[in-house]
Structure 1
Amino acid sequence: MLPMLFLACCGYFVWHAIHGERGLIARDQREQQIAEALVERARVQGDLAAMERRVDGLRGDLLDRDQLDERARQLLNLVGRDEVVVPYGPERRLF
């Protein structure tokens, strides 16, 4: 009877070590979530760096006139007489 009780306890702990809340399967899922979060973080950091470059071009003594003109035209919805307008759909962002 004692060996059966010992095997039952061992089986219980082995099952929870594999399938439990902190078991091997849950660890694999957490590692996958961490990898996905790292990829998302890298993408967001790239977007942030691009936005910072654009903002730096509109700030301070080193004002980028082309970028300022582009942004002003976009906000005011203005076009020159000799310019050609190419419409883009909402799914195709320019920046």
Structure 2
Amino acid sequence: MRFGRFVRHVVRATLPPALFIGLTAYFGWNVMRGEHGLHSYAAQLHLMDEARSAQKDAQAEQDVWLRRVRGLKEGALDLDLLDERARTMQNLARQDEIVVPYAEHDHLY
């Protein structure tokens, strides 16, 4: 009888703190490493930075293409420049022309 009382007393004394410590550990782990925890938040911030960087790159590329397309409009085309560019791309020149060579890293446009 005394032993049963002692066991009940020990269980009553240790069970609530053990449950509290278990719940605290569970919620603490979820705060740090859970699906919506701090590590996931940091990963989402990193992905958002990468997405913004990709968006800036795409916008820059789109601006380049828009500038090139605007140059193709009828009013913007200069026939002499078009002829020069076509002959440059085909590596052709007339005999009466002076050819100025460009280095590989120099752009003609």
Q: State TM-score, norm by structure 2.
A: 0.65
Could you say which structure has the greater relative contact order, defined with CA pairs below 8 angstroms and 6 or more residues apart? 1
Equivalence for 1:63: 76
CA offsets per residue over residues 12-58 of structure 1, 9 Å max, x none? 12112212233112211211221222122112201211211111111
Q: Percent identity?
A: 31
Look up the equivalent residue of 2:62 and give its one-letter code.
Answer: L
Quick one: structure 1 residues 32 and 64, their matched pair in 2 at CA, closer, same or farther if it must change by over 3 Å? same
Structure 2, unmatched stretches of 5+, are 1-14
The alignment of Structure 1 onto Structure 2 pairs a total of residues equal to 91
Contact 1:18 1:25 in 2 (8 A): yes
| CA RMSD of superposed structures (Å) | 2.5
Runs of 4+ displaced beyond 4 Å: none
Answer with 1 or 2: which has the greater Rg: 2
Greater fraction helix: 2
